[in-house]
Amino acid sequence: MAQKQVKQEKTGTMVLRMSDVRPTTMHVWICPLCGYVVAEFSPAKALSAAKLHLERKHYLNVVVEEEK
């Protein structure tokens, strides 16, 4: 049985910063909307996975902000 894919509009914008990824043995980010956990060895990969989660699961436009 084939599933019909429904394209949903983006619902908002969220800003991600590198400081949102917590450094432990692995770099961890927890979604503030649903509690989904991203754990990666690289902070850049964790940030990328967090961005993909917000775009695909919550249909948000994500802006990755550089920190000074």
Boundaries of domain holding 57? 12-65
Structural domain includes residue 5: no
Structural domain includes residue 2: no
Give residue 2's pLDDT. 58
Give residue 7's pLDDT. 62
Q: Is the Cβ–Cβ distance between 34 and 57 less than 8 Å?
A: yes
Number of independent structural domains in the chain:
1
- The strand pair at 27-30 and 37-40 is best described as antiparallel
pTM of the model: 0.70
* Confidence check: pLDDT of 1 > 60: no
Structural domain includes residue 51: yes
Structural domain includes residue 27: yes
Structural domain includes residue 25: yes
* Confidence check: pLDDT of 33 > 70: yes
Residues facing residue 66 across a β-bridge: none
